[in-house]
Amino acid sequence: MKRHWWKALGVIIIFYTIIQGFLGEVPHYFILNETIRNMYFHVTMWFAMIILMLASVIYSVKHLSSGSRISDLKAKELALTGVVLSIAGLLTGSLWAKYTWGAFWVNDAKLNGAAVTFLIYLAYFILRNSVEDEQKKGRLAAVYNIFAFVMMIVFLGILPRMTDSLHPGNGGNPGFDQYDLDARMQMVFRPAVIGWTLIAVWVTTLKIRYHQLLWKKEEMNDELEN
């Protein structure tokens, strides 16, 4: 139990944010209305994704410096979970956009950033699958992962600040921090980021253990054959 407390914490936080996210008090604003609740589910996905991608890059750096097979596996699985989170972020975002902006997709700095992130990580998996040799695959993927992550941070962090965005808080749109009930929303939003990250890490560890079992099985088969 000592080692697994964070999984329980993740589940409790998610339940808290879902219940509080749907039933709790939110400020009522023109156009946004109740869709403001999407902040708990959409924005948190991107935060959790960035955290996972960062972890993935750290393991890629580890893989380059040590060449260990396990850090490559961790980097890959973290990136994969990150992509799932980004799909969730895209879906929740475009659904929200349909009701507030009137279209599923618009030309907006943050949407371009989201699209570029998604495309970069899909390319990362295609790169992985087009190399046969296990060691070479790990090294090429790690190098591309580091290169792409830096470009993604530039894209998500710098460009939206230089151009206007339709998102709340950009380009003259009121941001959430100006709302009176902001503190109450933060009480749900901040734990939600932690909760989704914990759940995502849990899912990733399950997949890593599954792959390690597969490796073990292969080794045992090899031994039996010998």
Partner 1 sequence: MFLQISEIVKLNFKLEWRKKQSVLAILLYVLTTTYLCFLVFNGSIEKETWNSLYWVVLIFAAIQAAFRSFQNEADRRFLLYFGMVKPQALILGKIIYNFIYLSVIGLFTFLLFLFFMGTEIEDPLAFIVLILLACSGFAAILTFVSGISAKAGDNPALPAILSIPLLFPQVISLSSISIRALTGFSWEINGPIILVLMLLTLVTVLLSYVLFAYLWRD
Q: Where along the sequence are the contacts to partner 1 (CB under 8 A)? A: 64, 112, 116, 119-120, 122-123, 126-127, 130-132, 136, 139-140, 142-144, 146-148, 150-151, 154-155, 158-159, 162-163
Nearer of residues 130 and 226 to partner 1, judged by Cβ: 130
Nearer of residues 70 and 143 to partner 1, judged by Cβ: 143
Question: How far apart are the C-alpha atoms of 94 and 15, rounded to whole Å?
Answer: 24
Nearest approach in angstroms of CB 144 to partner 1 is 6
Nearest approach in angstroms of CB 118 to partner 1 is 9
Q: Which of 35, 155, 25 is nearest to 101 (CA)?
A: 35
Nearer of residues 65 and 212 to partner 1, judged by Cβ: 65
Question: How far apart are the C-alpha atoms of 220 and 224, rounded to whole Å?
Answer: 6
Nearest approach in angstroms of CB 126 to partner 1 is 6
Nearest approach in angstroms of CB 20 to partner 1 is 37
Nearest approach in angstroms of CB 173 to partner 1 is 20
Nearest approach in angstroms of CB 36 to partner 1 is 29
Nearer of residues 90 and 201 to partner 1, judged by Cβ: 90
Nearer of residues 119 and 213 to partner 1, judged by Cβ: 119
Nearer of residues 31 and 151 to partner 1, judged by Cβ: 151
